[in-house]
């Protein structure tokens, strides 16, 4: 392990790094699209039982980084190692050691919650069993146990498209558990959930990291969630790591530093990488700080001389003196 990566480990992990290898090591990872760098020279490391949050503005390269870590996208330069094995060289059943939790759940809507969780066992069974959904009793019992752990055992036979958003994401977490991975990569898992459901999912992920010994890396747009649930916070901006600190050291100054960059990414930033690995970017006027979705158009406003804002519904309010400071303990989204 390089000194640069060792310095990014928590203190307790650095003390034992000579005798115990980290679960995940990323060194100098770089990925470009048509000459534009989505991530550049990214290095980080995780140990077992650790829950690490990655924060950063939209277009910072979080999704590209996570897809490279999971082996879904091939980097141009650098390495990703899981238990000292190069992830790029993992094939077949070896890839089941990494589980991915998506922002939009990625469940099969017409299948039940149980059948969706059983998809996490596909790396353990012959292909014909997976195609016919003829899983063995042991696999079904494990899937039911995973649903029980996320509080959804009573919904096992319910179609996934009839569940709430929070319930669907918990099914996705149960599917990742059924995979029995060594690493869980969660790409904005609570971005589309209400606050209560988001709290439930974040609590669940932290509990999994503690009890299962799995390392979890999770991207977020909510600094207060990162500070409340993560062991360590990594700040990513314009494709580069700005800092990696224990969660209790992530203060207002670090938050302001991270989000001080303009909302419109630089020419070297890529907004989104689709499932085929193609880079896409929304026009600057459509970028949103809440994700890669286009911004809704705001109603036209007229500003009176007195500083009172009047919108097209007739509602009135005082003109803001400027953007509020960054508060990592606030439930407001960044």
Q: Tell me whether residue 333 is in a domain.
A: no
Calculate the dihedral angle through the C-alpha atoms of 57, 58, 60, 66, rounding to the nearest 10 degrees.
Answer: 110
pLDDT at 315 > cutoff 60: no
Q: What is the DSSP letter of 305?
A: T
| Band of residue 316 on the pLDDT scale cut at 50, 70, 90 | very low
Structure tokens at 285: 């006027």
pLDDT at 312 > cutoff 50: no
Q: Tell me whether residue 16 is in a domain.
A: yes
Q: Tell me whether residue 283 is in a domain.
A: yes
User: How far is C-alpha 250 from the geometric centre of its chain's CA atoms?
Assistant: 18
- Domain count for the chain: 1
Q: Tell me whether residue 327 is in a domain.
A: no
Confidence at residue 289, expressed as pLDDT on a 0 to 100 scale: 41
| Band of residue 20 on the pLDDT scale cut at 50, 70, 90 | low
pLDDT at 279 > cutoff 80: no
| Band of residue 25 on the pLDDT scale cut at 50, 70, 90 | very high
Q: Tell me whether residue 331 is in a domain.
A: no
Give the angle 216-218-219 at the CA atoms, nearest 5°: 165
pLDDT at 310 > cutoff 80: no
Kindly report the length of the chain.
334
pLDDT digits (tens, 9 = 90+) for 148-174: 999 999 999 999 999 999 999 999 999
Confidence at residue 41, expressed as pLDDT on a 0 to 100 scale: 95
The torsion region of residue 34 among left (phi > 0), alpha (psi -120 to 50) and beta comes to: left
Q: Which residue has the tokens 């999770």?
A: 218
The helix/strand count (H/E) of the chain reads as 10, 15
Mean pLDDT of 226-250: 94
Q: For residue 190, give its domain range.
A: 3-109+168-298
Is 6 in a helix, a strand, or coil?
helix
**Phi, psi torsion values for 325, nearest 5 degrees:** -70, 165
CATH code, 174: 3.40.50.300
Mean pLDDT of 203-207: 94
Mean pLDDT of 114-122: 94
Q: Tell me whether residue 314 is in a domain.
A: no
Q: Tell me whether residue 160 is in a domain.
A: no
pLDDT: which is higher, 69 or 13 = 69
DSSP string for 39-96: EEEEEEEE-TT-EEEEE--TTSSHHHHHHHHTTSS--SEEEEEETTEEGGG--GGGGG
Q: Tell me whether residue 43 is in a domain.
A: yes
pLDDT at 313 > cutoff 90: no
Cβ contacts of residue 207 below 8 Å, gap of 6+? Answer: none
pLDDT digits (tens, 9 = 90+) for 36-46: 999 999 999 99
Calculate the dihedral angle through the C-alpha atoms of 252, 46, 272, 291, rounding to the nearest 10 degrees.
Answer: -40
Mean pLDDT of 110-138: 91
pLDDT at 189 > cutoff 90: yes
On the CB side of 172, how many CA atoms lie within 13 Å of its CA? 29
**Phi, psi torsion values for 322, nearest 5 degrees:** 150, 175
Query: Strand pairing of 24-33 and 77-82?
Result: antiparallel
44 forms beta bridges with 26
Give the angle 255-257-261 at the CA atoms, nearest 5°: 115
Mean pLDDT, the chain, integer: 79
| Band of residue 305 on the pLDDT scale cut at 50, 70, 90 | very low
pLDDT at 199 > cutoff 70: yes
């Amino acid at each position: 392990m390089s000194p640069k990566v060792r310095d990014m480990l928590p203190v307790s992990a650095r003390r034992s790094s000579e005798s115990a290898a980290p679960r995940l090591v990323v060194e100098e990872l770089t990925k470009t699209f048509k000459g534009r760098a989505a991530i550049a020279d990214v290095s980080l490391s995780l140990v077992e039982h650790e829950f690490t949050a990655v924060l950063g503005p939209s277009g910072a390269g979080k999704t590209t980084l996570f897809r490279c870590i999971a082996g879904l996208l091939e980097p141009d330069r650098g390495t990703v190692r899981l238990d000292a094995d190069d992830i790029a060289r993992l094939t077949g059943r070896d890839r089941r050691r990494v589980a991915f939790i998506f922002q939009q759940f990625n469940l099969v809507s017409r299948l039940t919650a149980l059948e969706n969780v059983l998809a996490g066992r596909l790396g353990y069974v012959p292909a014909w069993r997976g195609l016919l959904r003829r899983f063995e009793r042991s696999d079904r019992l494990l899937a039911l146990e995973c649903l029980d752990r996320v509080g959804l055992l009573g919904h096992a036979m319910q179609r996934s498209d009839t569940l709430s958003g929070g319930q669907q994401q918990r099914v996705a977490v149960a599917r990742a558990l059924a995979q029995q991975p060594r690493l869980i990569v969660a790409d904005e898992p609570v971005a589309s959930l209400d606050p209560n459901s988001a709290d439930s999912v974040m609590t669940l992920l932290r509990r999994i990291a503690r009890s299962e010994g799995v390392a979890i890396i999770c991207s977020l747009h909510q600094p207060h969630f990162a500070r409340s649930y993560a062991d360590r916070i990594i700040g990513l901006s314009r494709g580069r790591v700005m800092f990696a600190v224990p969660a209790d050291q992530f203060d207002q100054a670090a938050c302001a530093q991270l989000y001080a960059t303009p909302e419109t990414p630089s020419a070297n930033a890529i907004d989104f990488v689709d499932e085929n690995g193609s880079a896409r970017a929304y026009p600057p006027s459509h970028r949103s700080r809440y994700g890669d979705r286009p911004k809704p158009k705001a109603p036209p406003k007229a500003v009176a001389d007195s500083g009172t804002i009047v919108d097209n519904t007739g509602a009135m309010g005082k003109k803001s003196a400027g953007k509020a400071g960054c508060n990592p303990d606030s439930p407001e989204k960044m």
